[in-house]
Structure formats: structure tokens, C-alpha cells
Amino acid sequence: MTAFLQQLLNGLSLGSIYALVALGYTMVYGVLRLINFAHGDVYMLGAFAGYYASKLLHGRLNGGLPEAAVILVVSMIACALVGMLIERLAYRPVRRASRLTLLIVAIGVSLLIENLAQIFFGADPKFFPQILPERMFEWRGVLFTNQQILVLATAVLLMAALTLFIRRTRTGKAMRAVAHNPDAARLMGINVNSIISLTFALGSALAAAGGILVSLNQPSIDPLMGLMTGIKAFVAAVLGGIGSIPGAVLGGLILGLAETFVAGYGSSTYRDAIAFFILIIILLCKPEGLLGKGQVEKV
Amino acid sequence: MLSLRNLSCRYGAVQALTDVHLDVHPGEVVTLIGANGAGKSTALKSVAGLVHPQSGDIVFEGRSILRRQAHKIAAMGIALVPEGRAIFANLTVLENLEMGGYLRTRTQIRDGLEEAFALFPRLRERIRQSAGTLSGGEQQMLAIGRALMARPRLLLLDEPSLGIAPLLVKAIYAGIDAINRTGTTVLVVEQNAHLALRHSHRAYVLETGRIVTEAPSAELADDPRVREAYLGEG
């Protein structure tokens, strides 16, 4: 039982990271019907933004939560700008082209970011500063760290804020309107370009948060760290039903739990394979995903 | 108020509109009738900025709106209720109406909601419901209510009676009459010529992208050629 609870906690912590990154895939897909393959690289840029921000801040804040919070916010803002830039420069010019063109552009942007990152940051792994020294707690035999708590709390907070924004605010509702029918949204006076831009900004900021939270736990960061996480978060988004926001969260959690339990009870060799196994099963059995809607043809 | 001048519009090889002239004066209900594929929807979409004609001009309240983006045209006081209604099925009825008032203040939205419910009381009953669950007629009411939330000076309606139960069609056209009485100018496109001529001041007939006739609606309803071609008589 203790081992089970331990795995559950580890799985939720990993899963909430996948969920944060998966949200960006699903939000962009919602408004553009585009799989933004560069999204995993934005997650990587988030980690590097945090790395450089902490270097700049060094000594000015005495570590601990305030510094972690500042780094998180700086990195989220930086990546929001990067996300908007990617949309403006790469996707907007080809928005009316075929889906295949868009997909190829997305892969190109991903490769470009990875290679630029290797040039500017260097290809070697960097050591992310230990802003929050790890502290262990024990509760009935279950071990958890202050970092796991931070990951879970931040992820829950960000997801709750996103949900409130999308459900309650005028701009959030406009985002859903654009996802459903961009032309009708324009007739309401909604500037569809700004909404798409904002969607990229929000998705990228969440990916950056994921990058920072992971780096606090596993301090080695490198320019290709976004590849695997990006693919897994994408699987999480498809699993939950791409385009669905609760689906992305659910998919992320399921994937995180599946990975941890496979590693914990089976063999950690199959840890990464489980994501792809799940992907194949979904594509065969429920291609629209757990919470996805069957393709509704617009009349 | 609105004037289409020498308007021509092409989709690839298909000529949808050729040299169209059309005027709408303040306070009028003008209808554009014609068969399926005559170019009626294209004319409305051009005004709303959803399609961009190749030549000619569209002037609204003295300013050319030909090259303007759709959301800017909406901000100028033109609202289009598109064919097929295009409600946001994933939003609730209330949220759809709020989107109609996207450019307005909270108080204006609150007043607008009351007006929309006064016009179509059925909407109030369904306020929390997802808009996708409404019947076709209710969706049309919602689409019109949503357009009115912007307080447009010119309301464009594309086939408001299409695919809707006869009883609801009556309610919808009664609503359109009421909207016009409050001073809103209306341009309505219809295949159902009977209905359109009964509820308008003037009418244009569009055939394969060209305006062939323009006359007061009552006169046109008596025109033997129109009766034969569009009213199924003769």
C-alpha cells in the first residue's frame, strides 16, 4: 500500500508536468487545427530562460520560494513572447495553405529552435541551480519532497487559473468562439489574429512553467530536452482528446501515472515505451480521445 | 446608408457577382431574392468583409469598406446573421449573446440581453443551455439575437427561414419587423420570395450574379414575371 501511494504521488507529479505542456498543444490545435511541433522546444526554452534568469539574479534573492517564483514568472513571460513570435513569423503567413504545409513548417520551426539553442546555449547539458534545496517529508511511510509539492501546487494553480480565464472572461469566451468558428467570431468584432496570438502566448507560458518545474527536480537541462517531453505531452493531448482542455489535463495525469507504475512495478526499461503503447491503443480504439468530441462536420 | 457599386466577385473561375448595384436607405427593409447560387450570400459576405470582391466598391455611411477586415466592419455598425446561423455550439445561449456584444460595455450587454429576450422569449428559457442543443428555429433566433447585441445600424440576414419549421419562421419574421420598427435598417436575402416580399419595402432580384430588377416589394409581388419565376405561379 505504501509503495502504491508512493507511486501515485510520483505519477501525479510527473503527470501534472505533462498536463501543463499538453495544454499548449490542445489550445493551439483548438484555434488553428495545427499540431505545433515546436511546442516541446518552447518547454526547453522555458528551462533555459529560468537558467539564465537565475544567473542574473544570483545573490540578489536568497534562493528559496521567492526566487523560484520570480524565475517562474520571468520564464513564462519570455516564452509567451517566443510563442507569439513563432505564430507571427512562421504560422500566420501559411495559415491559409494546406494542413500539410503547416505541419512541415511546424517541424521546421522545431528543428530551427533546437539547432539555434545548440549554437547559443551549447550542446552540453547545463546544471540548473538548486534554488530550492530538496527536503524530504514522510507520511505513513510515503516519502515526498518539497519540490513535488511545489510542482503539484503550481500545476493545479495554473490549470485552475486557465480554466477560470477560459470559462469566465470575455477574452476566454472569445477564444472558445474562435475555436468553434473563426468566421462567425470575426462577425462579432473579435480580432481573430489577436486571439490566436494570445493562445500561443498562454500555451507557451504553461510549457515554460513545465520546463522550470521539471528543472527544479531534475537539474540537468540541454537543448534537446524538449523532444521526448514534447512527444509525450502530445500523446497526452491526443489521449485526452485533442482540442479539449480537461482532456489534456486528464491525458497528462494518466500518462504520468502509467509511466510511474510501469517503472515501479514492471521494468523502467519500458518507461518511455508506455507512452507510445498508449498512443497506439487510443488511435485504434478511440481516435477522438477520452474527452474529445467526434468530428462534427460544419454545415 | 449602404451602397454596392459595380461590384464584381469571383471565386477562382466562378463569377459569383457581376457589376452589382444596390442601395439601402436608412430605416428600410430591403430584400434580395433569387434562386440558389444566384450570388445572394456572396453579396452579403462581401459587405460583412468575409469575402473580398475584385472590383467595384462598397460604401457604408459615406466610407468605403471594401478592403476592411470583418471585425472592423462589425465595429462600424454592421452585423451579419450568416447562412446556416453559425452559432457557437460549444458555448451556452448566454455566452453566445455575450459574444454578440463583444465590443460593448457590461451595462450595454445587460440591456441588450433584455431586448433580445423581449424579442425572442424562448431564448430566456434556454439561457444556460449549450447552444448546440437548440432546435433550428431557436438557433436562428439566437443568431439574430446575437447580432442585435452589437446594436448594429445595419442588420444583414442570410436566408433566415432556411430549414426552419413554419411556425418559427413566422416568429422570426415578426421579430425582424419589430427590429426594423426600432430604427434598424435591414438587408435580407431570401429564397422564399413570398415571405421576403411581404416583409420588406423594396426588393432586388438577382439572377446568376446580376441584378435584373429593382422595385418596391408590393409592386414586385404583382409582377407576372416574378410571380412565375419566384412565386411558383403562372
Interface test with A, best of B90, B104, B105 (most A CBs within 10 A): B90
Question: Cβ contact (<8 Å) for B100 and A173?
Answer: no
pLDDT of res. A298: 36
Pairing verdict, β B29-33 and B63-64 = unpaired
Give the CATH number, domain containing residue A35.
1.10.3470
Are B86 and A181 within 8 A, CB to CB?
yes
Give the 3-state DSSP-derived string for A165-233, with helices as H, strands as E and coil as C.
HHHHCHHHHHHHHHHHCHHHHHHCCCCHHHHHHHHHHHHHHHHHHHHHHHHHHCCEECCCHHHHHHHHH
Residue B33's DSSP bridge partners are: B190, B205
Q: Give me the residue spans of the domains in chain B.
A: 2-230
Say yes or no to pLDDT of B234 above 60: no
CATH superfamily entry for domain B2-230: P-loop containing nucleotide triphosphate hydrolases (3.40.50.300)
Is any Cβ of chain B less than 8 angstroms from the Cβ of A74? no
Is A67 domain-assigned? yes
The average pLDDT across B76-101 equals 95
B91 and A299 in contact by Cβ < 8 A?
no
Mutate to test the interface with A, among B65, B72, B91, B102 (most CBs of A within 10 A): B102
Other C-beta atoms closer than 10 Å to the C-beta of A34 total 20
Judged by CB atoms closer than 8 Å, whether chains meet at B98 and A179 is answered as: no
First to last CA, chain A: 53
Give the residue-averaged pLDDT of B206-234. 82
Q: How many domains does chain A have?
A: 1
Neighbours of B125 (CB within 10 A): 11
A245 within domain boundaries: yes
CB contact under 8 A, A177 and B99: yes
Neighboring chain B residues of A172 at a CB cutoff of 8 Å: none
Disruptive mutation site among B41, B71, B156 for chain A (greatest number of A CBs within 10 Å) = B71
pLDDT in tens, chain A (299 residues): 788 888 899 999 999 999 999 999 999 999 999 999 999 999 999 999 999 998 888 767 677 888 899 999 999 999 999 999 999 999 999 998 998 999 999 999 999 999 999 999 999 999 998 888 888 888 888 888 888 899 999 999 999 999 999 999 999 999 999 999 999 999 999 999 999 999 999 999 999 999 999 998 888 999 999 999 999 999 999 999 999 999 999 999 999 999 999 888 888 888 888 888 888 888 898 888 888 875 543 33
- AA identity, residue B40: K
What number is the average pLDDT over the span B87-107?
95
The answer to whether the beta carbons of residues B176 and B186 sit under 8 Å apart is: yes
pTM listed for this prediction: 0.92
Give yes or no for residue B100 having a pLDDT over 70.
yes
Given CB atoms, is A171 within the 8 Å cutoff of chain B? no
Asked if the C-beta of A184 comes within 8 angstroms of chain B's C-beta atoms, the answer is: yes
Asked if the structure places residue A131 within a domain, the reply is: no
Instruction: Choose, out of A96, A176, A188, the residue to mutate when testing the contact with B (most B CBs < 10 Å).
Output: A188
Environment class of A98 (CB within 10 Å of its CB; exposed 0-12, middle 13-18, buried 19+): exposed
- The answer to the question of residue A130 being in a domain is no
A180 to B88: CB separation less than 8 angstroms, yes or no: yes
**8 Å CB contact of B84 and A296:** no
Out of B70, B80, B95, the one facing A173 most closely (by C-beta) is B95
The whole-number pLDDT of residue A130 equals 85
User: What is the pLDDT at residue B232?
Assistant: 67
What pLDDT is attached to residue A299? Answer: 33
Residue A206 contacts by C-beta under 8 Å, 6 or more apart in sequence? Answer: A20, A21, A23, A24, A76, A158, A162
Is residue A239 situated within a structural domain?
A: yes
- State the DSSP code for B131: G
* Residue in A181, A188, A296 nearest the CB of B100: A188
Distance from CA of A180 to the nearest CA of B (A): 6
Q: What is the pLDDT of residue A231?
A: 94
What is the ipTM, given to two decimal places? 0.92
CA distance A183 to chain B (A): 7
Residue A182 belongs to what domain range?
A: 2-121+136-285
Q: Which chain A residue shows the shortest CA-CA distance from B86?
A: A184
DSSP class per residue in A229-250: HHHHHHHHHHHH-TT-HHHHHH
